Amino acid sequence: MTVDRWLRAIAGAFITLSVILAVTVHSNWLYFTAFVGLNLFQSAFTRWCPMITILRKLGVPEQVAPSHSR
């Protein structure tokens, strides 16, 4: 998987988990949901996201190498 796909998967997991925690544990977990959403929003304009920086340092590829099958 590429950085973009990992980012979407992690953001979706964080949002889903925090909503579940807000419903079952305490509503303050919605602040985490808002944090993730606002971070995604700002990254659309600044082209910088902390999670992408982390994923790159972990060696996640930017793009999948094209296959040479014909």
Query: 48-51 long-range contacts, Cβ below 8 Å, gap at least 24?
Result: 49/7, 51/7, 51/10, 51/11
Amino acid letter, residue 13:
A
Judge whether 52 lies within some domain.
yes
Whether 68 is in a domain gets the answer no
Looking at residue 51, its pLDDT comes to 93
Task: Supply the range of the domain harboring residue 17.
Answer: 3-57
Residue 69 lies in a domain: no
Does the residue 13 lie in any domain? yes
Copy the structure tokens of residue 64.
């999948």
Q: What is the pLDDT of residue 52?
A: 93
**pLDDT given for residue 68 in this prediction:** 63
Domain assignment present for residue 66? The answer is no
pLDDT bucket at 40, cuts 50 / 70 / 90:
very high
Percent of the chain surpassing pLDDT 70: 93
Axis-axis angle for helices 3-24, 30-46 (nearest 10)? 160
Determine, yes or no, domain membership for 63: no
Number of domains in the chain: 1
Q: Domain for residue 19, yes or no?
A: yes
Confidence band, pLDDT 50/70/90 cuts, at residue 63 = confident
Q: Is 9 within a domain?
A: yes
Give Cα separations from 13 to 20, 47, 61, 64, 70 (angstroms). 11, 21, 20, 23, 37
Average pLDDT over residues 32-58: 94
